[in-house]
Amino acid sequence: MKTISLRPAAALFALCMASTALISGMPAFAAASATTPPPEKVKLPEASTEIVPLTTNAIPLSHNDKNLVQVGKLHYMGGLKITSTTSHFGGISGFEVSRDGRQLLGISDSSRWWIADIEYDQKDRLVDLKNGRMAKLKNIKDQKESFAQDAEAVTAVAGAGYVVSFESPHSLQYFQAQKPDHYASLLTADAQKISFAPDLPESYATLPANQGIEALTTLADGRMLAFSENTVPHGERTLAQGWLIGHGKITDLSYDINPAYRPTDMATLPNGDILVLERHFSIAQGMAARLTRLPAMAIKTGEIIKGELIAELAFPLNMDNMEALAVRQNAQGEIFVYIMSDDNYNRMQRNLLMMFRLDG
């Protein structure tokens, strides 16, 4: 594998959130004539890329009240239940949405990329997904040269790069796209080692097998913020282990969390604040999720940071195993929040994609 250094970029978040046009994979064909040679064929992803047929069904925010559109500071902009005849579709544990909102990039528990086109109605509400494709992440190996599995989170970094976290074994790996939001180019990209900071701390390497870095985002200054699913008691508090990664070092911090929940993903807002998605499951309550907001100024080494509750999502709301979070801002300054569930390849669970507008 190649080695790459991750450099801080003050303009990173503007790169990830500014609205631009989606890169199209459709070639423009010129008219052929006797004196004009036929156009060159566009290079398509390798045969390992698989077309994934998608069927979507609209879902209301609430099972009990089809007219409900507000929960906390979130205004519902539509949701979909997604199914496919492809057996290994699902298990989506992290994703990104392009700056113009027209395409998504997901990573799955089986270490596959998933890309799809997003469609909206005239009021910018989510209505469909089209043109699904999947491909195995290429050349994914940890420092011991064993194959990494169980991709859990993805974040865009400077220079059209994407960092993916894995749980089996715990590792972070880098993938280079041709340009920002060019998700199709990642389907054939090789994993590259990261040398932007010293080796991950021992606490990271020894995390429980299924409690690694589930929540990962890139801060406005180019560093990455990571939270593990592993929590530890701290007096009357419950803390999730966290790290600031970049600028030549890795440092510790902690996230103060309700003991009934675990952090499963994060996303950075245009002003530098962080949204954290938390998940809960119990026999008594079933599936539930919370969204909290961390102020940018609180993200400091050694700190115990606690978020402001934005919304609680639980029955009778349409919920499943909500694991993935993405945000974007449109040209009018509105911020949209996307939440997706991981069905764990279990027929009793669902793949849900829900879209909200963040109010306030």
The rounded distance, in Å, linking the Cα atoms of 358 and 360 is 7
Given a cut of 60, whether residue 359 has pLDDT beyond it is yes
pLDDT interval class at 141 (50, 70, 90): low
Question: Which two tokens mark 269?
Answer: 């807002």
For 296-350, write each residue's pLDDT tens digit.
Answer: 999 999 999 999 999 999 999 999 999 999 999 999 999 999 999 999 999 999 9
Give me the half-sphere count of Cα atoms (radius 13 Å) on the Cβ side of residue 152. Answer: 26
Instruction: Please give the mean pLDDT across all residues of the chain.
Output: 85
Residue 7: inside a domain: no
| 29 located within any domain | no
Within 13 A of 356's CA, how many CA atoms are on the CB side?
Answer: 25
Give domain status of residue 124, yes or no.
Answer: yes
Evaluate whether residue 106 is within a structural domain: yes
Report pTM.
0.84
Is pLDDT of 148 > 70? no
Whether residue 20 lies inside any domain: the answer is no
Tell me which of 50-54, 136-140, 195-199, 293-297 is least confident.
Answer: 195-199
Structural domain containing residue 73: 51-358
pLDDT tens for residues 250-299?
899 999 999 999 999 999 999 999 999 999 988 777 899 999 999 999 99
Query: Model confidence at 170, in pLDDT bands (50, 70, 90)?
Result: confident
For residue 236, tell me if it sits in a domain.
Answer: yes
308 found inside a domain: yes
Predicted confidence band of residue 212 (pLDDT cuts 50, 70, 90): confident
- The CATH number that applies at residue 228 is 2.115.10
Q: How many domains does the chain have?
A: 1
Q: What is the pLDDT of residues 53-111, one digit of tens each?
A: 999 999 999 999 999 999 999 999 999 999 999 999 999 999 999 999 999 999 999 99
Mean pLDDT of 18-37: 35
The answer to whether residue 19 sits within a structural domain is no
- Predicted confidence band of residue 48 (pLDDT cuts 50, 70, 90): confident
Residue 37 banded pLDDT, cuts 50, 70, 90: very low
Read off the pLDDT band of 198 (50, 70, 90): low
